[in-house]
Copies of this chain bind each other. A is one copy, B any other.
Amino acid sequence: MLEEPPLRADAARNRARILDAAEAVFAELGPTASTEEVARRAGVAIGTVFRHFPTKDDLLAAIMKRLLARLVEEAAEHDLFAFFTHVVAQAAAKKTVVDLLPVDIRLAEAVGHLESAVGTLLAEAQASGAVHTGIRLPEVMALLVSVCQGALHSGWDEDLQRRTLTVVFAGLRAQS
C-alpha cells in the first residue's frame, strides 16, 4: 500500500486529461484503439502517456479503476435495482470493457469495493423483501457483469434493455 509522491500540478492535470481522452477513445473505438490516438485526443505527446501509464494495460486498468470508483460513489444514492440499471446504462455508453475478472491484480481492490457496495444494497433489498433471501452476492455480481457485457456487445435499444432487466429483477424477487 505505497503512497505515491504527489504529482506536480501540471502532471496531475495531464494525467486527468489522458484518462478522459482514453475513456472517450476506447468508448468509441474499442480497446484496440491505438495509444497514439489517445495522446492526440488528450493533446499531449505519446511519451507523456507512457510516462503516466507505463503500458497500455496500465492505462486500461486506470480507466476501469476510475470508472469503478465512480460507480461505488453513486451506489449510496440508489436501491439495488436502480443501481443495477444505472450500471448497465453506463456500460452501454462507455464501451469500456467491464471485465470484472480480477485476473488483473490492479483492479482487485476496486472490484472489491464495488462488490461491497452491491452487497450492502443487496442486504437492504432483502431486508425490505424486494429480493428473495436465498439470493447471494456472487450471482448478483455475475448477473450485473453479464447484462453489462450483453448491452455492450449487442447494441440494445432502451426498450429492450428495460425488458431484459425486468426479467432479471423478477428473478431476483422470486422464490427460486
Which residue numbers of A lie inside 8 Å of B, CB to CB? 32, 97, 99-101, 103, 135-136, 138-139, 142-143, 145-147, 149-156, 160-161, 163-164, 166-176
Set of chain B residues within 8 Å of A149, measured between Cβ atoms: 146, 149-150, 152-153
Measured CB to CB, the closest approach of chain B to A85, in angstroms, equals 14
Contact partner of A155 (CB less than 8 A), chosen from B101, B168, B170, B174, is B101
Set of chain B residues within 8 Å of A156, measured between Cβ atoms: 142
Set of chain B residues within 8 Å of A142, measured between Cβ atoms: 150, 154, 156, 160-161, 163-164
Looking at chain A's contact residues, the main secondary structure is: helix
Query: Is there an interface contact between B160 and A154, defined as CB atoms closer than 8 Å?
Result: no
Measured CB to CB, the closest approach of chain B to A24, in angstroms, equals 21
Query: Is there an interface contact between B155 and A143, defined as CB atoms closer than 8 Å?
Result: no
Contact partner of A176 (CB less than 8 A), chosen from B103, B147, B160, B166, is B166
Set of chain B residues within 8 Å of A163, measured between Cβ atoms: 136, 138-139, 142
Measured CB to CB, the closest approach of chain B to A169, in angstroms, equals 7
Query: With A and B bound together, what is the CA distance between A172 and B171 in angstroms?
Result: 7
Set of chain B residues within 8 Å of A176, measured between Cβ atoms: 166-167, 170
Set of chain B residues within 8 Å of A167, measured between Cβ atoms: 135, 139, 143, 168, 171-172, 176
A153 to chain B: closest residue by CB: B99
Contact partner of A171 (CB less than 8 A), chosen from B100, B101, B161, B169, is B169
